[in-house]
Amino acid sequence: MAEWWSTLSIAMRVLWGLTLVASLIFVIQSILTFVGADTDSTGFDAGDLDGGMDIGGVDDGVGDLATGSNLYTFRNLINFILGFGWSAILLRSSIKSSALLVLISVIVGILLVAAVMYMFKLLSKMQQSGNINVYKYAKGCQGTVYLTIPGERKGEGKVQISINESVREYNAQTDGETIKTGTPVKVVDIINSSTLLVETLEPEII
């Protein structure tokens, strides 16, 4: 291994280094994407992996996944380096012209970026098609507070609401006092497609 590394030029060492790092980040991004983690917050990706995949709101997650259509993201940079780097490494012995090798590698990198962007576009459409019409079904539903909701609409918390026998997570506000985590609540109105207005659910007196 040491002998092989010593035979490489500085340019090839840099290329190998960038390609291996990009490959590792790509694997991590892919794993986190499909387990629904928020890679934006970890700094691995600036928009694609948002995972913060809030699957609760009608638009939640769709916008996050759709950010894969944004060309200028860290994910796309990694994808380009991945395609460019492995193409240059694998084709180096077959293509003698450096200019042609670079050109082909750039094209492969661009094609990989385009393919991943297209994949995220399809994923966003799939998720959107499976969403519930919050305006139609959420009002009157009950659930529990997931993150404390500040009182008098001074901020947002989160609630988990049961809609059509499916538990969904939404942002939430309240007109009353602060509602703490774990408190049963009821949806009294819909503020927007991802935010509900709730109130504390009073226990029934038998």
Sequence ranges of the domains in the chain: 2-129, 134-200
Question: How far apart (Å, rounded) are the C-alpha atoms in residues 52 and 20?
Answer: 27
What's the N-to-C CA distance of the chain in angstroms? 77
Question: Which CATH architecture describes the domain 134-200?
Answer: Beta Barrel (2.40)
Q: So what's the pLDDT on residue 197?
A: 94
Coil, helix or strand at residue 35: coil
Residue 97's alpha-carbon distances to 30, 58, 86, 107, 193, in angstroms, are 34, 52, 17, 16, 55
* Angle, CA of 38, 22 and 63, to the nearest 5°: 30
Return the half-sphere exposure (C-beta side, CA atoms, 13 A cut-off) of residue 67. 21
8 Å CB contact between 166 and 160: no
DSSP state of 51: -
pLDDT at residue 157, as a whole number:
92
Q: How far is CA 71 from CA 78, 162, 185, in A?
A: 12, 37, 41
pLDDT means per 10 residues in the chain (206 residues)? 78 89 89 58 38 37 42 82 92 89 94 88 59 78 91 91 81 93 92 90 67
The type of residue at 87 is: S
Record the pTM: 0.47
According to the model, what pLDDT value does residue 165 have?
74
The pLDDT assigned to 69 comes to 46
Task: Identify the DSSP state of 54.
Answer: -
Q: Give Cα separations from 118 to 23, 129, 145, 197 (angstroms).
A: 20, 17, 36, 36
* 195, containing H or E segment: strand 195-200
* Amino acid found at 117: M
Structure tokens at 107: 């094209």
